[in-house]
Amino acid sequence: MTISYSAQGPGALHFAVGDVVRCVDTCGMPKDSPLIRGHIYTVRAIEGDEAAPAALRFPLVHLHGIEGGYGAFRFVKVEEAPPAAPQADPLPVRMAQVMREKAAETGACDAHDLLAAGFSQAEIIAYGYEATLIAHGAPAQPTEQVAA
């Protein structure tokens, strides 16, 4: 989720979970506040009401290692969050689940069981090996296309 604080004018703030931010404003904060001007923090969570008009919107930024939320206007982005790792293709994961369930019931699972579970022959050929690895405990990896 990315929150945009547009009340700042042309330099609108756009924060996402995992972004690295620098505190630039501590005005009005209590003296015992853990927020320190000039320090670098990582965004843990963001909350805000996107349905509210921009003039009323006050998104809060939650930081790693600090309790509570702070106004987004107190920070500038230093670095964007790294892109998320690609997710494993859900088809071989579902196929592996069917394999595990069938093996628990009958002691084995073959292509006929997968066909009966609704997988097509093409899906079984394309993803059967990967699903077998997942079913036997190998971590689910993104499917990669190999150029011939």
CATH of the domain at 32: 2.30.30
The H-assigned helical ranges of 40-120 are 90-106, 111-116
Does residue 35 lie within any of the structural domains?
yes
pLDDT score recorded for residue 53:
60
Statement: residue 111 has pLDDT above 70: yes
- 62 and 114 part of one domain: no
Reply yes or no on whether the pLDDT at 113 is more than 90.
Answer: yes
Q: Do 75 and 6 belong to one domain?
A: yes
* 141 within some domain: no
Residue 145: inside a domain: no
- Entry field: residues in the chain: 148
Residue 139 CA to residue 135 CA, distance in Å, equals 9
Residue-number span of the structural domain to which 41 is assigned: 2-79
Domain identity same for 108 and 46: no
Please identify which residue in the block is written with the tokens 């404003």. Answer: 25
Helix (H, G, I), strand (E, B) or coil at 21: strand
How many domains does the chain contain in total? 2
Instruction: Please check whether residue 147 lies inside any domain of the structure.
Output: no
Comparing CA positions, the residue from 129, 118, 138 lying closest to residue 92 is 129
pLDDT averaged over every residue in the chain: 79
Q: Angle between the 90-106 and 121-135 helix axes, to the nearest 10 degrees?
A: 70
Mean pLDDT score, 116-142: 84
Least confident of 52-56, 85-89, 93-97: 52-56
The two three-digit tokens of residue 71, written as one number: 């106004």
